Amino acid sequence: MSSTAPPSEARTQQYEFEQMNLQVGGRIQFITHRTIKPIQHFSTLIGWVKDEYMIVKIPMENGAPIALNDGDKLTIRVFSGVNVCSFACTVQRVFLRPLFYVHLSFPTAIQGTSLRTAMRVKVDIPAQVTTPDGHTSVFLVNLSVSGALIESTKPLPEDEPTVGLSFYLIAQPGNRQVRINPNATIRNINVVKPATADKDEVFTYGVQFVDLDPMHYTMLQNLTYEALIADRQKIV
């Protein structure tokens, strides 16, 4: 039986370092190979010196850094919003207290999968839409680095193609709430009729972000990446 790739993905190919579109502070998957079965952790990219080394946070487990030694072989996987890339590297030097970071060898061979569009992740996040007429409480039902799908029990003003959007995401480390507040252009509108007469119809709006802050872009990348790795059922 022949197998086919998921419809949202293309075949694996070679990538250059710049094509990974790495962002300082971006989440990465950090895979160790010290046991028979590889162990997956999440970490944060601190920076890099091109062609020399990369600097990443040591993943924490149960409040303590995972065990790493010089020379350990790792696989690093990163998500750029439209590409999933992975590469092999080795631990060059471990720096423990108080900062807990590690130097890794610079990637020499990068395998990547290009996603056809910015993937959307199923969410259930309360949000607020702002127009000249005031504020409307809504829910975000999916999110991507480029936009969102909004559900509202009330129609938004039809003569306002661009609205203000405000919602919160959880940032690591520390589970901090960060307010995301881009402007958004309404691209499509649908009305969902209720299955029974005792329920109200729901208005859905597909919106595209206009001026997303780079830090907020990275947070949305992380949200999508973690869903891709940890719970593909959330991918729309």
List the CATH number of the domain containing 28: 2.30.110.10
Q: How many CB atoms neighbour CB 119 within 10 A?
A: 24
Answer whether residue 8 shows pLDDT above 90: no
Residue 45 within any structural domain of the chain = yes
CA distance 44 to 77: 11
Choice between 58 and 158, residue whose per-residue pLDDT is larger: 58
Q: For residue 141, name the pLDDT band (cuts at 50, 70, 90).
A: very high
What was the pLDDT predicted at 81? Answer: 60
My answer on whether 103 and 172 are in the same domain is: no
pLDDT in tens, 12-25: 789 999 988 888 98
For residue 194, the domain's CATH number is 2.40.10.220
pLDDT above 50 (res 106): yes
According to the model, what pLDDT value does residue 53 have? 97
Q: What is the pTM of this model?
A: 0.59
pLDDT above 90 (res 46): yes
Is it the case that residue 205 has pLDDT exceeding 50?
yes
Domain-located, residue 3: no
Which residues make Cβ contacts (< 8 Å) with residue 118, sequence separation at least 6? 81, 82, 144, 145, 146, 147, 224
Q: Which of 50-54, 71-75, 144-148, 222-226 has the lowest mean pLDDT?
A: 222-226
Asked if residue 53 lies in contact with residue 106, where contact means CB atoms within 8 angstroms, the answer is: yes
Residues 79 and 130 in one domain: no
Q: Do 165 and 106 belong together in one domain?
A: no
Contact status, residue 112 vs residue 84, Cβ threshold 8 Å: yes
DSSP, collapsed to helix, strand or coil, labels residue 138 as: strand
Contact 135, 29 (CB under 8 A): no
Burial class (CB in 10 A: 0-12, 13-18, 19+), 52: exposed
Give residue-wise pLDDT tens across range 62-104: 889 999 999 999 999 987 666 788 999 999 999 999 999 999 9
The mean pLDDT value for 103-117 works out to: 84
DSSP secondary structure letters along 172-189: TTTTEEEEE--EEEEEEE
121-131/64-65 β-pairing: unpaired
Cα–Cα nearest to 121, from 105, 141, 136, 102: 141
3-12, 113-122, 197-206, 227-236: least confident range: 3-12
205/102 same-domain check:
no
The chain-wide mean pLDDT, for the chain, equals: 86
Whether residue 163 contacts residue 156, with contact meaning beta carbons closer than 8 Å, is answered with yes
Structural domains in the chain (count) = 2
Q: What is the dihedral of CA 188, 84, 30, 35, to 10 degrees?
A: 120
- Amino acid letter for position 144: S
State yes or no: pLDDT of 3 exceeds 50.
no
- Measure CA of the first residue to CA of the last residue in the chain; give whole Å: 26
Say whether both 100 and 132 belong to one domain: no
- Higher-scoring residue by pLDDT: 119, 7: 119
Residue 28 structural domain: 9-115
Is the pLDDT at 232 greater than 80? The verdict is no
Residues listed for the chain:
236
Give the model's confidence band at 118: pLDDT under 50 very low, under 70 low, under 90 confident, else very high: low
